[in-house]
């Protein structure tokens, strides 16, 4: 059935900022830019056997929760999902999404889900930005973000959810590259030097680190680095990262310091942390204090040894260390392991041991399971793999704390972990305002230890 334009009543919000409606033939249709409760005239842009996609042509009946997006390229860029939606409605959607995923995927309908902790300011929070290089119609270097579901670059000189220092770097970098005559990478022909610009910044704006991801080394990159540090004094270092792969992977294996130092220092809950280009560090420095304080307070008061798995730069390990006898942090990323060791030293913690290994490998080596009281896991969006779930069920620690950035994979894993654990409570934290992502801290116990 070819539909063309059709009037649709938007029933609910789907993922990625798409409203969900039903076509006259009963198929689900995902409508980009539409909000729950609205009636819109939409053009069907893609048809499949069981669903379709559409875009809004006009709004017939507008939602009271619709508001103007502050970003001029919001409708073109794929970086945000909800700038057109009142923040309170976004939070309500995320709270409901968690409950629905737990019921539908995890078969958990009676779990205690606490009210989501929203951001005081849903804009200007990100401490990490990753921008592809391209060229404008005149052939001059530009930076931007890809349109959703494509590699079509949308030029961006300022991003509403990025920190001020990142936006200043974003604004000046293309002009410096142009003056130096540097070429930008052309994906189709695998030519050109500048591929991506990656920036990380400290919460208080006191430090920022820039990575120039390039296909080929070029002596002019040193001048680009020096000019960036002069134009934006908060930049403490610039790293060149060489990526020769003909793939979508951003970072390559080789990094060279061009100017300054290859790290900056940031603070969370009174502790100091070293952050480098390649290591994982939460992107919202304001909300992360709510998240990690929740984790810290959730650790059992009787705990003596804690394992922090998928430890990154050891943030959680360091934060819980003062309240227990010992912490073992496990991380596979070599750069993060180095930072985690330094972070324990920076905070004068001699009870944190950092192991360089994949979590699955480390658990399979049968560590001293009798010593552990609490296990903390913070896996990537894909969640725990089957081997890790099996090991955690075998270990059956008294308490398991699961930090997740994906309600769907979280629900799947919680269902699998029911072999040994039951969920005590879940605390959602909106780490990613204006986007279709939400973080959760989940506390699980063995049934016999629930009140212990």
Q: Catalytic residue numbers?
A: 405
Of 376, 363, 312, 368, residue with least CA distance to 342: 312
The span from the CA of 42 to the CA of 28, in Å, is: 14
The span from the CA of 298 to the CA of 295, in Å, is: 5
Q: Which residues contact 199 (CB under 8 A, 6 or more apart)?
A: 128, 129, 130, 131, 165, 166, 169, 170, 208, 209, 210, 211
User: Token pair of 376, please?
Assistant: 């903390």
DSSP H or E run through 142? strand 141-146
- 3-class secondary-structure state, position 449: helix
Q: Are 123 and 159 in contact (CB under 8 A)?
A: no
Instruction: Give 157: exposed, middle or buried? Use CB within 10 Å, 0-12, 13-18, 19+.
Output: middle
Q: Are 228 and 235 in contact (CB under 8 A)?
A: yes
Cβ neighbours of 117 (radius 10 Å): 18
């Amino acid at each position: 059935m070819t539909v063309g334009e059709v009037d649709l009543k938007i029933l609910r919000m789907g993922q990625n900022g798409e409203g969900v409606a039903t076509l006259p033939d009963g198929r689900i249709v995902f409508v980009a830019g539409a909000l729950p409760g609205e009636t819109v005239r939409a053009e069907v842009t893609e048809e499949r056997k069981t669903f379709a996609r559409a875009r809004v042509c006009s709004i017939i009946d507008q939602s009271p929760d619709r508001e103007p997006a502050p970003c001029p390229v919001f409708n073109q860029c794929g970086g945000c999902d909800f700038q057109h939606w009142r923040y309170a409605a976004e939070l309500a959607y995320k709270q409901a999404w968690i409950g629905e995923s737990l019921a539908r995927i995890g078969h958990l309908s009676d779990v205690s889900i606490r009210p989501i902790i929203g951001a005081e300011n849903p804009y200007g929070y990100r401490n990490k930005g990753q921008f592809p290089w391209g060229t404008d119609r005149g052939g001059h270097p530009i930076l931007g973000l890809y349109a959703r579901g494509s590699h079509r670059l949308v030029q961006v000189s300022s991003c509403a959810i990025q920190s001020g220092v990142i936006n200043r770097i974003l604004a000046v970098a293309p002009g410096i590259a142009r003056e130096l005559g540097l070429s930008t990478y052309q994906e189709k022909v695998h030519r050109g030097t500048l591929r991506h610009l990656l920036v990380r910044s400290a919460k208080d704006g006191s430090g920022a680190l820039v990575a120039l991801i390039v296909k080929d080394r070029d002596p002019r990159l040193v001048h680009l680095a020096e000019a960036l540090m002069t134009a934006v004094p908060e930049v403490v270092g610039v790293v060149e990262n060489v990526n020769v792969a003909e793939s979508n992977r951003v970072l390559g294996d080789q990094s060279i310091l061009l100017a300054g130092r290859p790290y900056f220092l940031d603070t969370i809950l009174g502790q100091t942390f070293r952050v480098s280009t390649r290591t994982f560090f939460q992107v919202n420095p304001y909300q992360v204090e709510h998240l990690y304080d929740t984790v810290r307070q959730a650790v059992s008061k009787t705990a003596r040894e804690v394992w922090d798995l998928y430890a990154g730069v050891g943030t959680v390990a360091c934060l819980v260390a003062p309240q227990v006898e010992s912490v073992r942090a496990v991380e596979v990323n070599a750069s993060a392991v180095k930072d985690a060791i330094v972070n324990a030293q920076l905070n004068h913690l001699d009870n944190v041991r950092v192991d360089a290994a994949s979590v699955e490998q480390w658990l399979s080596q049968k560590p001293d399971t009798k010593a552990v009281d609490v296990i903390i896991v913070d896996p990537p969006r894909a969640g725990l793999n089957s081997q890790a779930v099996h090991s955690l069920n075998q270990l059956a620690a008294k308490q398991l704390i699961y930090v997740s950035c994906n309600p769907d994979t979280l629900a799947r894993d919680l269902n699998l972990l029911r072999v040994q654990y039951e969920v005590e409570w879940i605390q959602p934290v909106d780490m990613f305002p204006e986007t279709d992502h939400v973080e959760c801290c989940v506390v699980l116990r063995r049934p016999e230890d629930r009140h212990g």
